[in-house]
Structures are given as C-alpha cells and as structure tokens.
Amino acid sequence: MSLRLPARAAVRAAPLLLVAPLVAARAQTPTAAGPVPEFARQVEVRRTAHGVPHIRAPHLKGAAYGLAWVQLEDHGAGVALGLLRARGEMGRWFGRDSMAGDFLAQRARAVAVERYAQLDQATRDVYEGFAEGVNRYVALHPQEFPAGFAPRFTGYDVATRDVNLASANQARRFLARVAPAEARAGGRNAATAANDPSEEGEPTPGVDRIEEGSNAWAFAPSRTKSGRAILVRNPHLAWTAGYYEAHVSVPAVLDFYGDFRIGGPFGVIGGFNKDLGWSTTNNAPDLDEIYALDVDPAKPDHYLLDGASLPLQRELVTVAFKNGDGVSTETREFWRTPLGPVIHRDGGKIHILRAAAEGEWRAGEQFLQMMRASSLAEWKQAMRTRARINSSFTYADRAGNILYVWNASIPSLPHPSGGDTASVPAHRTSDVWTRYVPFDSLPQLLNPPGGYVRNENDAPYHTNLHRILDRSKYPANFPEPSLRLRSQLSLALVDTKQKLSLEDAIALKHSYRMLLADRVKADLLAAVRAASPDAATAQAADVLARWDNTAGPTSRGAVLFETWWRRYTEGQNADSMFAKAWTVAEPATTPRGLKDPARAAQAFTWAVTETARRHGDAAVAWGDVHRVRMGRTDVPVGGCGGALGCFRVLNFRTDPDGKRSVIGGDGWVLAVEFGREIPRAFSVLAYGQSARPESPLYGDQAAMFARGEMKRVAFTPADVDAQTVRRYVPGAEP
C-alpha cells in the first residue's frame, strides 16, 4: 500500500528490497566456531523493507544475541572494537597510539565487574547475550578482524559501556585557566584526563559544524483527529552517528521498536512499545562542581576536611600495548578522594571534580525498565533510577498522556555554583553537594493546555506557551530561559488549534520554512533599495522579494539569503546583529530586524556577486546546490541549519564541484500514533541500516528522505510477516 501527502512532505510504504545477501559476498575463511549456541537456536531475524531487522527470541539473552549479530552484519568490526575499547585493550591490539582511552576504560570496567551482580537478572541476560552475539560473529568472520583476533567478550565488557565516570573534559575550562599546560596535555594529572579528546578546534572552511541536537513533539488526544496521542521525534547529528533502527520481541517480556545506537543494546534514545513511547533531546545541565580542598602542610598527599587530615587515594593503572611483535606496558598514576577525582594541585589547594553520576552503573537496567513499561507510572518509576543523567524526555502513551521532563541528575547545591572556571572552597563535608534535586522537582509538564509539548534543546520554560514555567521556582544552577529560532518555528507549527492526523504531523515536521527570513527579510530589502543598488543587485532583491522564505529544493532566493547572512554576521556574534534581541517578554517574536542596515546592504551586494560566481546564478535554486549524496544517490534536498531558523535541520560540506552535500542533521525520523490496541508508525533512516558501502542497505533510504517521505513501520507479527523479505537464524553457518 502507498500513501502520499499533498505538497512537499509525503509518507509512503517503501518497495520491498531483495536484501539477501545483506553484506556483499566476501571470501569465507573456514572456522572452528561450531554450531549456533544452544540458547540462540530459536532466535530468528526477519528483515523487512530497507533491511529493518525484527528480532524474535524466546528470552532476552537470545534477543540481545540477535541484536548484536545484525549490528555487526550492517556495521562491521566497529561493534566489536567498541567492546574492545570498553575493556581497555585497544593498545594491546593496535599499539601505543591507540591506548589513551584504555586507562579510563579499565577503571570503568572495574566498576562494572564490581557492580555486575547487583544488576537485575534481565539486564545481565541482555549484556551476556549481546557479548555472545559479537563473539559468534567474530568467530565466523575472521577476515574482518586483525589476524588472531579472538578476545571472547563477556557481559562485563558490554556493561562497561553503561558505566559513567567523570571526564577531564568536564574540567577542561578550569584547567585552561589555572594550568594551561595540563589542559593542553589533556589534564594528565586528572583521574580521567588521559582518555579525553581535545576540544573541537576551528571550523573547517566549507564544512558546517554539526548541530548536535534533536526535535521532539507530543500531541494529546485533544489535538488529534483520531483522538489518540502522537509522538514525533528526530535527532540531528552527524550522519555517521550510528543510529540503528530495530524491533526486538520476546513474548510476554518485551516488544520494542526504536533506535539502538551501534555498539550496544541500550543506547536507546527513542522508540515505542504498544503502550508508550519517548524521545530524548539534548539538554545542557550543570552537573558538576570543582572544589578546592586545603592541603595538610604536615603530611604529604593529605587534605583537610571536617577538621581531620585525610589521605588521597593513589591508584596505579597499567595498560598493555602492542610493541612490534611484542607487548609492553605503561603505568599511570591517578589520585582520588571519596568526593571525586583530583584534577589539579597547586597553591596549597587540591582541586577535585565532583561530578553527577560518577561511578553510575545502572543505565542499562533503567533503559530496559523503560522499554518494558506499560504505563506512565511504570515509566516514571524507571526514570527515578536517575541512571540516565541528562537529556529532556518527550513522552506519549496509549492512555492519552503526554509529558515533557527536563531530566538531569543535577546537584542540589549548598552554595552558589562555581561554574566551569572556578573552584568552590570546601572545609567541611557540608560545603559539598551530596544529593540531587528530586526527580519530581525537575521542570516538567503533564497534559498541559493546548494539547502539546515540544523541545528542541532549549531551556524547558517555554515547552508550552499556555503554561510557561516560572524560572524563579528553580535553583540558580538551572538554565536561564532561551528560545532560539528553531524552537520558535516549532512553536509556530504546533501552537495552533488545528487537529492533526499522523500524516499531518509528519507534513509539519518536514516544513522547509526558514524563520530567520521572516524576521529580517523586510528590513534587508528596505536597506538594499535605499542604497541605490546597481542593476544586478536590484534584480537580485526582486528575486528575494518573490522568495517564499523556505529552504525547499526548488526555492530560489534561499542560497542568496544564506550567503548574505553569513557575510552580514561575519566576525560578529550573530545574536547581536538584530535590531531587537531575544527577550523573555516576547519569547516567540524576537529576535527581529537588522541592527546595521548599511552593513546589510553592502553584504547583500557582495552576496549577489559571490553567489553568481559560485553557482552561476544569484537566483540558483536551493536544491541545485544542496544535495544528498550517498552511494549512487545524488538528489536535491530541502532543509538548513538551525541558526537560520529551520526545523528540518541539515548541515553540509562543500564538495569539489561546488555543490554542498549533507553530512549531518535530520537522519533518523520516527512518528507514532498510539492506537487503542496497536500503534501506527512511520520512519526513515536517511543513511540506511548499513554503513558498508557495498551493502544494498547503504544509503538506500537517502532519496526517500530527500523527498520528505517515510516508510510504514511493521510492528505487529502479521505486518512483519507480510513484509518479510529475508528470515534467518543469526549465527548459523553459511
């Protein structure tokens, strides 16, 4: 069946693909792997349209085994290498230049081993099944791995991926101020610093920064034509981020459809079961504090707290690394206190980082409980575990509830925050934070007036314009109000009285509108026309006047406008270049206008010449320049950066031919309507199920995504059976 929407956004059931083999033929090396493990013999994978795996198993261990297998089928050795990295053995296999992360990894694994028995049996079954799925794949595909690669992963290794430890990145700005050399070296004296990459450097010319974030909507039954709740979600990250669409079913235990980030079973940031679903959107809570303890002048490596002299805890971590045909080791020294790791010592002070969720090990258990929840009460009880330390959550369910939670394991501070560049003196334990703000005291909205909740990574207060949250009711270390153009466009799209079908919601989600143009184009045209423009500039202004203020594939004027905006704001803080800045008093209509009309007119004249030079015509269509290029796909695409006020966020790079191809932004999109018995859903994974260029699943959804279309999700057993194009037992001998 095919369903098409009017205008630019459409949803359709994709044609079935003959996806066997899913991986291009490779020379098989004989192995002694033996038969499929006994516990996995009843596991079955059914691949439906575009290779989506539906994993059926009699128990959670088998389901996780199957999930590991399909991830490796589609993404290859990176899954196993992720577990090797978690185990702290990259150096052992790949040499000294690969070992930096092994020091922190070994510490995290020690926590996983220590706490493993405290996880519930269901979570341990998932970890162990996933490890066995990876082991089975490695045994049957040795040609994809280094010679002799046979590490035999365990549940400990998979669980380690869900252990949270403090990172030197959390103290990098403080170290940059007090100890620049340490900061440049990665803060090696910090308890975790040797493992962290350096901060993002200067942008590469012609390559957009990836706007890491997400959009999420939930609509109450009062706002939908069916009288059922709707959830819409899309993250926008690099198109190498590893989102993986899958469906996992265990009778009477689990039936969940969503995204599983490549490398583990619990990297779940969105999805649904028959009763409920959720999506995450990044937030940026202040989760840690740096404290300055007094050195004990009478005892080396001691500090003073509560009137007592206490010893620092010294820890030696030894990592092995491949050295030619042999193995060498390196040992590094780390210092800790019960309050957190030491990050710097100088001036009679010992600076420690007290970070939220330091040593937290239950994230997988929490996610499994959320995936299995059948009601709002059960889902919120899982959230109260507080093992997922941040992200906003947007929720909808079959009972008709919609909910937004600004989630954070945020410290309840007994003092003003020191931010990330100052340390707070601590002489007593009471000077240090020891508990979180309770979950039920976090900013949240349940079933608000207007029938919607939404978030696009901004602060929580304007989630719904009919019930604006009062900033003054929250502690000082909560975020200040903000509402960027992307968020404002979201509100413009959903804060209406319109009743929506699932298809209507999808059409809104694919809006090409560029809100920045709505706010400044009139001022720009007035400035250009007042500057006595030459003929070419005047003609280009006429093009801009006719432009519909969208970044659609056929829009003429959008390329010129973006080129002008970059020039107008060059070397300036873009937020400072409006006539009226954003204000909390006018949250949905500011910023607006142009601060410097003369500069704007000069920039426009330059942009007319530059756009024609780059693309042959100042009035070039957006899609003639902006493309989705994956495999054999090379098609026009609509969407733009969030700074331009697009909701359909896309980031681009300039290719050698001058065209701009997508490198990030919207990629995994899901929309679900909760029925009385079963949900109805559509999805698209723009870059496809497989990262292997030789696979037929590599980029096979890219053209569909570019057209603003989505595929029908198969969820019920009958729908899955009807759409199955390949079924197999994962790990069976070829």
Q: Cα–Cα distance between 435 and 731 in angstroms, integer? A: 46
Phi and psi (nearest 5°) for 634?
A: -150, 90
Q: Cα–Cα distance between 379 and 405 in angstroms, integer? A: 12
Crossing angle between the packed helical segments 78-87 and 102-115, to the nearest 10 degrees: 80
Report the first-to-last Cα separation within the chain, whole angstroms: 34
Confirm whether residue 596 is marked as ligand binding.
no
Q: Active-site residue 214, yes or no?
A: yes
Hey, which bits of 450-543 come out as E strands? Answer: 452-455
Asked if 557 and 631 touch (Cβ cutoff 8 Å), the reply is no
Asked if 555 and 512 touch (Cβ cutoff 8 Å), the reply is yes
Q: Cα–Cα distance between 74 and 643 in angstroms, integer? A: 34
- The residue among 387, 164, 391 whose CA lies nearest residue 270 is 391
Catalytic residue among 98, 167, 198, 214: 214
b/e burial code for range 31-67 (CB count within 10 A of at least 16 → b): eebeebbebbeebbbbbbbbbbbbbbbbbbbbbbbbb
Q: How many CA atoms lie within 13 A of 1 on its CB side?
A: 6
Measured CA to CA in angstroms, residue 355 lies from 199, 288, 340, 436 at distances of 19, 4, 7, 11
Single-letter amino acid code for the residue at 697: L
Q: What does the angle CA 234 – CA 240 – CA 245 come to, to the nearest 5 degrees?
A: 50
The tokens of 547 are what?
A: 């432009």
The residues carrying an active-site annotation are: 214
The binding site comprises 286
The binding site for Ca(2+) comprises 286
